[in-house]
Amino acid sequence: MKQLISHFHRLSQKTRLFFAVSLFITILVIFVYAAAQQILRSGADDPQIQMAEDASLLLKNSAPMGPIVPDTAVEVSQSLSPFLQIYDEKGGLLDSDVLLHGKNIIIPKGALEHAKERGENRLSWQPEKGVRIAAVVFHYGGKNPGFAVGGRSLRETENRIGQIGALCAFAWVSLMCLLGALYHFLAK
């Protein structure tokens, strides 16, 4: 490390400035990407928060389950529609409108346990390769406590995150080329 610092101090002032600005640009682009990724991912939870929270409030107040979970099944490997699941206190599936290849999917018990400890759990769930779900779990009390899970596919969100990554990479390469051209021009 000392040797690296010693080599750095031997460089011209312009070269040191080039490296410092390069590092700044790189860190800035990484932060922009990370912020955009987090905003997009957290926004993917929006409809599920409302669905699961409303369902848990109704069930806490002993509403019948029938009108809470929609009748139309969502095939999560193909659809972007949000879905709703209801679990009992032990994690047994009571009702669901989501299917994966025509079969019910069960959220991992750890996701339910975390929601029981904290009241709520927001997670990315991958029931199989290529199928990722933004899920929100609410624990509800009352006469028959349990869990309400709202979810939907992350496919479009992940596509947008990929686009942001490509734009950030393009911006970084463009800025580095501009900086390199400026360095070359000033070095003459």
Query: Mind listing the pLDDT tens digit for each residue in 14-38?
Result: 888 888 999 999 999 999 999 999 9
Looking at residue 8, what is its pLDDT? 60
More confident residue, 62 or 122: 122
pLDDT of residue 46: 87
Predicted TM-score (pTM) of the model is 0.82
Q: Residue 96 and residue 106: Cα distance in Å, rounded?
A: 10
C-beta of residue 69 within 8 angstroms of C-beta of residue 103: no
What confidence category does residue 107 fall into, taking pLDDT thresholds of 50, 70 and 90?
Answer: very high
Does 6 score more than 90 pLDDT? no
For the chain, give every domain's residue range: 2-40+160-187, 45-153
Cα-only R_g, the chain: 25
Residue appearing with tokens 């879905």: 83
CATH topology of domain 45-153: Beta-Lactamase (3.30.450)
Cα(36)–Cα(45) distance, rounded to whole angstroms?
Answer: 15
**Model confidence at 66: pLDDT above 70:** no
Q: Which amino acid is it at 99?
A: L
Per-residue pLDDT at 98: 96
Mean pLDDT, the chain, rounded, equals 91
Q: pLDDT, tens digit, for every residue of 114-123?
A: 999 999 999 9
Quick one: residue 106, left, alpha or beta (phi over 0 = left, psi -120 to 50 = alpha)? Answer: beta
Instruction: Spell out the residues 6+ positions from residue 114 whose beta carbon is closer than 8 angstroms to its own.
Output: 121, 123, 137
